[in-house]
Structure 1
Amino acid sequence: MSSPPLPLPNAVPRDAKAWLVSPALIFIFALFVYPFIYGLVLSFQPMNGGSAFANYITFFTDTAMWPTIIVTLKLAVPATIINVGLSVPVAFALRRNSPYQKFVTTLLVIPVTLGTVLIADGMLTYFGPNGWFSQAVHGLHFYRDEVRLTHNYWGVLISLIVSGFPFAFLLTLSYVTGIDPTLARAAATLGASPWQQFKQIYLPLLMPGLTMAACLSFVQAFSVFPSAVLLGAPAGPTRVISIAAAEAAFENYDYSLASAIAMVMGFVQLLVVAGMLGTRRFFYTGPVTGGKG
């Protein structure tokens, strides 16, 4: 006579499993959702009174504030294009296992561990008027006049490239290594040139990864602050929107106006990111996971 079956343990209801994500939701709400809502509400409460949109009217009518959007875009857009553009050939060159792959990859990622302040300090020593770069250029007679790569637009742009390239490179490398190389070899057997292989095979499969890399690079570059202060001219050509928000909050103690500037900053970022995500569908209409699998 067979023994009766053992009772199964009580299964956890499916609804109860949903509560497992509650700590993460609380964390997101406490650190992201609540500060955003608080800042949004505060932006409609001007310190000096007036209408609810007084802070936004002040920002878009003040000739010292609204141009900061253009200045920031002039820095963020070229930095994003350069970072993503350089990451593609470098990732293709390092996609295969080789003795120097890990060394070069580690070397390229080192700036991530340094931080923007330390990078800016090093650039002041290297690219300054009496720095190593200027002395080398003058010593080799490449350029006779003073080399000015700090305290101007170019210093901030170089800093954004140095600090932002590793992120774009790592994202691009993960997608490049996930594309099956037999696809390109099959196209080569049919007479496709290397350029045709890249255009017809690699580029469409890389678009999800390149788009995400571009979005993250742009958001990082658009929120530039230490580099614009240390390597640029905060009162002149590199007065970015984050500096305007910092001045409103910590110099004028107008937290309401600073919140409004932060909301404008976030809205511009959202528009650009949405535009980049929208252009992706013209190149690739498959799953967002790219060419892996």
Structure 2
Amino acid sequence: MNTMMRWFGVAVIVFIAAPLVIVVPMSFSTASSLQFPPPGYWLGYYADYFSDPSWLRPTWNSLFIATCVTLLTMALVVPATFALVRHKFWGKGIANLMMMMPMAVPHIVMAVGYYSVLGQWRLVHTHLGVILAHTCLSVPITFLVLSANLKGFDQTLERAARSLGASPIQTFIHVTLPILRPGLFISALFAFIQSFDETVVAIFISGRDAETLPRKMFDSIRQEADPVIAVISSLLFLVVLIALVAPHVARTVRRVIADRRVTPTISAE
């Protein structure tokens, strides 16, 4: 049974990693389109990406929009989560339902609605329009992550701080915030990824000036299958890999430094 589960796990890993085995070599290909196996290897398409404004502009747009969406989403979701988790009021069930609605409705339906509303506000093809639309899509997943952390929070810690004379603001800063910091970070990360990776709504809302990287990639692969798409995919994979490995490296470095500090002390004794 254990052997079968191991082989099943290996098969799942191979299935997940297979696209990377294809995409990464294609980013170094000399072919004029997406072709595997590559007929040759070079760094020309990497140079094209880092020197072509038609690719760099959508990249910076996506980073800017995703950052703004993260800040706006957290500013809205944090107080809303505290209200919905810790307080009882009329219409709480409806409020919970509305918070989760963007996750239940298909993105194509949401995109049509956003296009209609934002068109009346003259925000279509603007950065602000994309930010507002992406914020609505980021709220549900951010709310789910943060509410799960808040439901497991021991409120007796806050009561103890208040009983010792701490103000509500001091209690939040010194007690609540440190405990919820991992949940807040994960919530913000999901909001950023949701915005940066979103394509359907961006196709409807963003225009030439507010074009996002996923929309640019979609248009490129639909029209000419530009190999620069493989370059961007490889770079994004590299960023994710660094983000996963960096905490382990930092933890190892801290452990080594701590061991070096302890060893001389023991030797001196």
Following superposition, the deviation at residue 224 of structure 1 comes to 2.2
Aligned length: 242
CA distance in 1: counterparts of 2:128 and 2:27, whole angstroms: 33
Kindly provide the amino acid, as one letter, of the partner of residue 192 in structure 1: A
Task: Report 1:132-147 matches (<5 A).
Answer: 147=121
Q: Percent identity?
A: 25
Following superposition, the deviation at residue 178 of structure 1 comes to 0.8
CA distance in 2: counterparts of 1:167 and 1:176, whole angstroms: 14
1:26 aligns with 2:11: yes
Task: Report 1:208-247 matches (<5 A).
Answer: 208-233=182-207, 236-247=208-219
Q: Secondary structure at the match of 1:66?
A: helix
Following superposition, the deviation at residue 171 of structure 1 comes to 0.7
- For the 8 Å contact 2:138–2:190, the answer to whether it is kept is no
Structure 2 equivalent of residue 107 of structure 1: 98
CA distance in 1: counterparts of 2:241 and 2:196, whole angstroms: 11
Which whole-Å deviations, capped at 9, do the CAs of 1:53-82 have from their partners, x for residues lacking one? 111111111121122221111111110121
- For the 8 Å contact 1:164–1:221, the answer to whether it is kept is yes
Following superposition, the deviation at residue 277 of structure 1 comes to 7.3
Following superposition, the deviation at residue 113 of structure 1 comes to 0.8
- For the 8 Å contact 1:84–1:169, the answer to whether it is kept is no
Structure 2 equivalent of residue 57 of structure 1: 47
Find the partner of 1:206 among 160, 180, 190.
180
TM-score, normalised on structure 2?
A: 0.81
Kindly provide the amino acid, as one letter, of the partner of residue 119 in structure 1: M
Structure 1 equivalent of residue 30 of structure 2: 46
CA distance in 1: counterparts of 2:146 and 2:129, whole angstroms: 25
CA distance in 2: counterparts of 1:80 and 1:277, whole angstroms: 22
Q: Cα distance 1:156–1:277, how it changes in 2: closer, same or farther (>3 A)? A: farther
- For the 8 Å contact 2:137–2:194, the answer to whether it is kept is no
Greater mean alpha carbon deviation, residues 198-207 or residues 63-72: 63-72
CA distance in 1: counterparts of 2:157 and 2:10, whole angstroms: 41
CA distance in 2: counterparts of 1:97 and 1:18, whole angstroms: 50
Q: Secondary structure at the match of 1:149?
A: coil
CA distance in 1: counterparts of 2:77 and 2:29, whole angstroms: 44
CA distance in 2: counterparts of 1:170 and 1:69, whole angstroms: 28
CA distance in 1: counterparts of 2:43 and 2:4, whole angstroms: 40
Structure 2 equivalent of residue 284 of structure 1: none
- For the 8 Å contact 1:156–1:232, the answer to whether it is kept is yes
CA distance in 2: counterparts of 1:150 and 1:184, whole angstroms: 45
Q: Cα distance 1:77–1:266, how it changes in 2: closer, same or farther (>3 A)? A: farther
Q: Cα distance 1:119–1:156, how it changes in 2: closer, same or farther (>3 A)? A: same
Find the partner of 2:67 among 77, 89, 102.
77
Kindly provide the amino acid, as one letter, of the partner of residue 196 in structure 1: Q
TM-score, normalised on structure 1?
A: 0.74
Q: Cα distance 1:29–1:217, how it changes in 2: closer, same or farther (>3 A)? A: farther
Q: Which has the larger radius of gyration?
A: 1
Kindly provide the amino acid, as one letter, of the partner of residue 144 in structure 2: L
Kindly provide the amino acid, as one letter, of the partner of residue 122 in structure 2: R
1:154 aligns with 2:154: no
CA distance in 1: counterparts of 2:113 and 2:170, whole angstroms: 42
Q: Secondary structure at the match of 1:68?
A: helix
Q: Secondary structure at the match of 1:215?
A: helix
- For the 8 Å contact 2:125–2:209, the answer to whether it is kept is no
Structure 2 equivalent of residue 290 of structure 1: none
Kindly provide the amino acid, as one letter, of the partner of residue 251 in structure 1: Q
CA distance in 1: counterparts of 2:109 and 2:9, whole angstroms: 33
Greater mean alpha carbon deviation, residues 21-30 or residues 35-44: 21-30
CA distance in 1: counterparts of 2:135 and 2:199, whole angstroms: 14
